[in-house]
Amino acid sequence: MTRPISLALVALLAPVVAALILAPIPALRKRGWPAAALCILGSVLSFGAAVALLVDTLKDSTPQTLAVPWVRSAGKVIAEAGVHVDGVAASMLVVVTLVALCVQVFSLGYMHDEPPPAFGRYFTYHALFLFSMNVLVVAPNLLQLFIGWELVGVTSYLLIGFYFRKPSAAHAAVKAFWVTKFADMGFLFGLLALFAASGSFGWDARLAPGAATAVTLLFFLAVVGKSAQFPLHVWLPDAMEGPTPVSALLHAATMVAAGVYLVVRANPLFAQSETTRSLMLGLGAGTALFAALLALVQTDIKKVLAYSTCSQLGYMVAALGAGSVLGGFFHLTTHAFFKALLFLAAGSAIHAVHSNEIGAMGGLAKKMPLTAGAFIIGALSLAGIPGFSGFFSKDLVLEAVEGKLGGVPWVLLLATAFLTAFYMGRVVFVAFFGEPSGEQAKHAHEPGWSMRAPLVVLAVLSLGLGYFAAPFARLHGEAYHFELGAGPIIGATLGIGGFVAAYAVFGRGKREAPPAVITWVDSIARTRAVNRLYDFGYRRVTMVLANALAWIDRYVVDGAINMLAYTTLEAGQEARPMQTGFAADYVMAVLAGVVCLAAWVVAR
Amino acid sequence: MTLSTCLLLATALFSVGIYGLLTRRQVMAVLLCVELMANAANICFVAFSRFRGGVTGQVFASFSIAITVAEVAVGLAIVILLYRTRGDTRLDLASEMKE
């Protein structure tokens, strides 16, 4: 076993060992603190191994695989399980384990008020999630990736529904599970189609053009669900019912990025279908703008960030659709850090004012300078202000998309860039500047070290990661150097312009009379058209169809069986009088039988 | 006397037996009719033995007579039991064989 393989195994197994110790031992789990310590220890080990692995991979990026036979059929191995290490997997592992570690440390403070059993349960779920995500990241084939994908879905369900006594949280968990599960059918059928076409679950098969399109379209359905693209984005805003650190880890940085990661991994397949790629480009750009518009009118700080995540995932999907794996993946990486930072900073603010509404905050910058600073760094990075990491990755995306599909996606993404800066500016100015809007906001104060330290780490990464684009590109076997051209200047102008516009509208404590365009978008958002479409589909199509089938089952299938039983019973009842009890009648019957037999013998 | 005469006699005897079996109401008469039918069969046995040669038929006839005796013994026992329990031996009043 080589060094990278051992490191990958450590990164993979450390969290699951923690989970396997905690899950069956209630005495340990229900005490709370031991669970947190064990879970964080697992994450530290995992993170350390991932960093060592990344350093190794930077020196020598030859892919390495350790795979053991897993599924056998007729003596032939049809699927393997194991670890596959290359530049993509190593960098993703570092992103996942680092964000997970930050979030878990943050949770020590954020979840402090939970009773010990809930506290322990929370960290057990976290350990399980990290393992699931790592299974997905180091998968040597798409089948194992699918297993990780589903495990991540389950842990996401558990964590969204963490406050399961709250009906809205339970409802959100079920909704997230159903929507992603519907999309996951695409993954499953895609795998079957891939196996039928190529005889393996590998991602480097050469397929016939038709088969390639079918397989990648099916995979793309799964991506649309997991990465919350229109029209399956409806679960993500609801998923904000989970604890805020969970939103930071699962619904901003890692799990929702799994869809993008799938496309990055299966890129050799996606590269074979122009149809799928064009669809991805169009849908990604459309989602980016659509979600940015919705983010504009949310008053719940987490919902703003949730729609913003949809929007940024749209960027990544569009980049991958344009064929730029580096663009999509680099944006995934920077986004993971700055969006986790934004969520954690938002969590810190929520923790201080006990409300998600930005209207209930206000003036927090004076009370909580570190939190405000972290949030502003995240916001500037998300808005693509030059120098911050988001600027470099967004620029890569815009450059990849430029000129594709008649330039429409490019224009959409540029509009999104402006809107992104505008809605982040809105949150920053309303929540962190101006006057405190309530008692809670007046007495807000900075949280403890466990919540501050992760903010600092993530803020540093959000600031600095953009300058490491070149080594990052090398991991993918591509070259990167930044050029100051028209693209970056347009992007930067739009980003800064968005902030300036937001300051003009919301700055200096102005709260009343938002511009007409916002009220207009708000009125449309309030119709909840997409959700109502699903409601309609569920009530008017699925339920009607199900009722029709139930009717057929109850009255046609069951009816035939019951009819048979009834007929037999009735025939028996009708035949009863034949038994008279008189010996002469029986003799007559015997005689009739004999005569019939004789007649038959003679006639033959 | 030929084979057919004998067979005709046997048929006649059998038919009389059947008729009695179906129409008589007294158990004793019914038993007698059963005897008639059995003996019709015996006549067939001996007739074939006599006209076709071989002793198989005669042996079977002896067998048959022995079995008939046993049957009558059982039958009479049933009749006596019937009389004891009901005080009457008319068949059309006994319908316990229903169901």
Going residue by residue through chain B, which has 99 residues, state the pLDDT in tens, using 9 for 90 and above: 888 999 999 999 999 999 998 888 888 888 899 999 999 999 999 999 989 888 898 999 999 999 999 999 999 998 888 888 878 777 766 666 665
Chain Cα centroid distance, residue A464? 26
Choice between A207 and B95, residue whose per-residue pLDDT is larger? A207
pLDDT in tens, A80-135: 888 888 888 888 999 999 999 999 998 888 888 888 888 888 888 999 999 999 99
* pLDDT value of residue A35: 86
pLDDT in tens, A134-167: 999 999 888 899 999 999 999 999 998 888 888 8
**Residue of B23, B91, B98 lying closest to A580 (CB–CB):** B98
Burial environment of residue A444 by CB neighbours within 10 A (0 to 12, 13 to 18, 19 or more) = buried
Choice between A466 and A258, residue whose per-residue pLDDT is larger? A258
Q: Are A292 and A383 in contact (CB under 8 A)?
A: no
Residue B32: name the closest of B99, B96, B83, B89 by CA: B89
Q: Are A311 and A416 in contact (CB under 8 A)?
A: yes
Write the single-letter amino acid at A16: V
DSSP structure string for A261-280: HHHHHTHHHHTT-HHHHHHH
- Beta strand pairing call for A64-73 and A76-85: antiparallel
Does residue B94 fall inside a structural domain? no
* pLDDT value of residue B39: 92
Choice between A280 and A297, residue whose per-residue pLDDT is larger? A280
CB contact under 8 A, B21 and A587: yes
* pLDDT value of residue A204: 84
Does residue B37 fall inside a structural domain? yes
CB contact under 8 A, A581 and B95: yes
Q: What is the CATH number of the domain that holds B27?
A: 1.10.287.3510
Q: How many CB atoms lie within 10 A of CB A102?
A: 27
Percent of chain A with pLDDT over 90: 19
Residue contacts between A and B (CB atoms, under 8 Å): 31
**ipTM of the shown complex:** 0.80
CA gap A415, A247 in Å, rounded = 26
Q: Which domain holds residue B47?
A: 3-89
Record the tokens describing residue A530, joined without a space.
């997409």
Record the tokens describing residue A197, joined without a space.
């076409």
Does residue B30 fall inside a structural domain? yes
CA gap A170, B51 in Å, rounded = 100
Does residue B84 fall inside a structural domain? yes
Q: Which residues are registered as beta bridge partners of A67?
A: A82
User: Maximum CA pair distance of chain A?
Assistant: 117
Eight-class DSSP state of A67: E
Q: Tell me how close the Cα of B18 comes to any Cα of chain A, in angstroms.
A: 9
Q: Which residues are registered as beta bridge partners of A66?
A: A83
Q: Tell me how close the Cα of A593 comes to any Cα of chain B, in angstroms.
A: 14
Q: Are A230 and A313 in contact (CB under 8 A)?
A: no
Partner B contacted by A589 (CB < 8 A): no
Q: Are A390 and A383 in contact (CB under 8 A)?
A: yes
Q: Are A236 and A309 in contact (CB under 8 A)?
A: yes
* pLDDT value of residue B98: 67
Q: Which residues are registered as beta bridge partners of A335?
A: none
What stretch of H or E contains A386? none
**Residue of B23, B92, B99 lying closest to A579 (CB–CB):** B99
Percent of chain A with pLDDT over 70: 98
Q: Are A31 and A120 in contact (CB under 8 A)?
A: yes
A563, HSE (Cβ side, Cα atoms, 13 Å): 7
* pLDDT value of residue B95: 65
B99 contact residues in A (CB cutoff 8 A): 576, 579, 581
pLDDT in tens, A211-264: 888 889 999 999 998 888 888 888 888 888 888 888 888 888 888 889 899 999
- Angle in degrees, CA A437, A462, A327, rounded to 5: 125
Q: How many CB atoms lie within 10 A of CB A200?
A: 16
Write the single-letter amino acid at A178: W
* pLDDT value of residue A597: 95
* pLDDT value of residue B13: 94
Which residue is closest to A578 within chain B, CA to CA? B98
The full 3-state SS of A549-596, as one line of letters, equals HHHHHHHHHHHHHHHHHHHHHHHHHHHHHHCCCCHHHHHHHHHHHHHH
CA gap A224, A378 in Å, rounded = 25
CB contact under 8 A, A582 and B95: yes
CA gap A83, A3 in Å, rounded = 13
Does residue B53 fall inside a structural domain? yes
Write the single-letter amino acid at B7: L
A71, HSE (Cβ side, Cα atoms, 13 Å): 7
Rg of chain B over Cα atoms, rounded to whole angstroms, equals 16
Residues 6+ apart with CB under 8 A from A533: A231
Record the tokens describing residue B12, joined without a space.
């006649």
CA gap A412, A33 in Å, rounded = 48
Does residue B51 fall inside a structural domain? yes
Write the single-letter amino acid at A582: F
pLDDT in tens, A36-88: 888 899 999 999 999 998 888 888 878 888 888 888 887 788 888 888 888 88
Which residue is closest to A585 within chain B, CA to CA? B22
Give helix A486-506 / helix A369-383 axis angle, nearest 10°: 130
Residues 6+ apart with CB under 8 A from A577: none
* Mean of all residue pLDDT scores within chain A: 86
What stretch of H or E contains A479? none
Does residue B98 fall inside a structural domain? no
Total domains in chain B come to 1
Does residue B95 fall inside a structural domain? no
CA gap A357, A346 in Å, rounded = 11
pLDDT in tens, A539-573: 788 888 999 999 999 999 999 999 999 999 999 99
Tally of helices (H runs) and strands (E runs) in chain B: 3, 0
Q: Tell me how close the Cα of A587 comes to any Cα of chain B, in angstroms.
A: 7
Partner B contacted by A587 (CB < 8 A): yes
pTM (2 decimals)?
Answer: 0.76
Choice between A531 and A390, residue whose per-residue pLDDT is larger? A390
